[in-house]
Amino acid sequence: MNEPGKIKIISTNRKANFEYAILSRYEAGVVITGTEVKSLREGKVNLQESYGRVINDEVWVINLHINEYKFGNINNHEPLRNRKLLLHKKEIRKIKQELQEKGLTLVPLKIYFKNSLVKVELGIAKGKKLYDKRESIKKREVERKLSRI
């Protein structure tokens, strides 16, 4: 039997679930270099300010900050470079079509290792209004109180 891939979460974008309502999710591979992999294994990544964009029928993640590897030499990577995401053409077309709708954006939700491959979970998201954010805070507090009881 095919057992599901072993997943080790490196980092999650906790702010994304608060700032946005996630409509759909996609899993994508990331084109990265060796020193980036070593930094990811140490957990030196920041998803907070990153976002996705479709450029020339390719999906790119922009502002994904992966710290330089501390033992890297002159071949070390640039921390804020744009990274290409690997998706099927069908998925790219679907994402491109969904992003045509006003107010939607592509947000990286988490980055993780799946069977030693680096993957990013992307979400098509719609920004929440202030009252929606207040509502999610209330919901979270109610769930916390219920779990204590």
Q: What's the CATH number where 38 sits? A: 2.40.280.10
Q: How many domains does the chain have?
A: 1
Per-residue pLDDT in tens (0 to 9) along the chain, 149 residues? 445 668 888 888 888 888 888 888 999 999 888 888 888 888 888 888 888 889 888 999 998 888 887 777 777 777 788 889 999 999 999 988 888 888 888 999 999 988 888 899 999 988 877 777 787 788 888 888 888 88
106 domain residue, yes or no: yes
Structural domain for 59, as ranges: 7-148
CB 96, CB 8: distance < 8 Å: no
pTM for this one?
A: 0.77
139 domain residue, yes or no: yes
| Assigned token pair, 85 | 């995401």
